[in-house]
Amino acid sequence: MLGNMWRHLFRSRKVTISRPRTLAAARPTARAIPDPAPAPVVSLAEIGDRFHRFVLGLPAPESSDLSATELATLKRLELLSTRFDMRSLPRLPTVLPQLLRTLKNDNAAGGELAKLVGRDPLMVGEVMRVTSSVFYRSAQPITSLQHAVVLLGQDGLRRVLTQHVMKPILQANAGALGHVAGERLWDHAERCAHACAWLGRSSGCDAFEAYLAGIICHTGTGAVVRLLDQLMPTEAEAEAPSLSSGFLSACSQLAARLSLQASQHWELPPRVIEAMTECQAPPTPEGSALGRTLAVADTLAIAQLLGEHDQLAPDLDLSHSWPDILPQALLMRCQQDLRRQFPLEKKHA
């Protein structure tokens, strides 16, 4: 259905997604000295471009320049984005901000957490469902919400909040025609959250804030798909080739702004909002610890996901890509950890 949306929107001919280009290895000479920090096979900008094409089901670019149709579409997207009602986003549990603050206290009592969870029926249902699963099943039947919360523990409750509450919110955000996009954005969110929390341990970041930032950092991409849905009935019939890199780059910048607005609308922790603000531009050494960590984790997660789907070399080394942001050895270990946590066995069409 997503492919039909693009064909309707731009009246382009159907094409097949091409595999990423591979670059021939340089022929070594007898006197050649290996470069200790070789350049990546593809640039960070191209990795981002491939990610958005993968998420949106688009073919490889034929041009980097925007066409007249794309320029007109961007103007309409910008106009729609200024009118985008954040209240149309799937809701977060109203108790979530308070629960997040309580979860920062390692000594928070099970009764206090259960009282907060009990104020939201959706969260109650998810906590009881998860604790009734085979993984959590105990010798004694679960008789109360407090019993379930204690059984989960704080780490388990954090996973329920992110995986079982945020997942449907992020997937629904892409709209009916963006189902495939929503699934792929969630796959990225899992990897980004894992990488952000992993790197954050060495950067002094709060573990749960880092995980949460990784989960929601591409919320705006789903919103952009919804905005494109609104353009479908009235788009001009001018035929266009596969979408240019410039068009997707502009959509990515718009998505970053909408992601920030969503985090503000949801009243997420201040450091998460600060990181989302900084991620609208490349990371700098002067940025916040969480902002730098999130920007790098986002790209590492993208590379991991594309590698799993044969859209990028699965062993691509990006550890040297941010020499002034995070240590190379740390980034190398993070990529290795991502490959262990998300092996190549699961692929999507």
Residue range 206-252, pLDDT digits in tens: 888 898 899 889 988 888 887 777 775 444 444 434 788 999 999 99
Q: Pick from 193, 164, 189: which is nearest to 290 by CA?
A: 193
CB half-sphere exposure, 48, CA atoms < 13 A? 22
CA distances from 253 to 14, 134, 260, 288 (A): 27, 43, 11, 20
Mean pLDDT score across all residues of the chain:
79
pTM: 0.76
CA distances from 81 to 223, 231, 257 (A): 9, 12, 9
pLDDT digits (tens, 9 = 90+) for 135-192: 666 666 787 888 888 888 877 887 777 776 677 766 666 555 567 888 899 999 999 9
CA distances from 192 to 195, 214, 245, 275 (A): 5, 5, 23, 14
pLDDT at residue 41 is higher than 80: no
DSSP 185: H
Cβ atoms of 334 and 195 within 8 Å: the answer is yes
pLDDT digits (tens, 9 = 90+) for 101-113: 777 676 778 888 8
According to the model, what pLDDT value does residue 14 have?
39
pLDDT at residue 27 is higher than 80: no
CA distances from 16 to 3, 163, 254 (A): 11, 33, 27
Q: What are phi and psi of 140, to 5 degrees?
A: -100, 140
How far, in Å, CA of 12 to CA of 1, rounded?
A: 15
Percentage of the chain beyond pLDDT 70 is 72
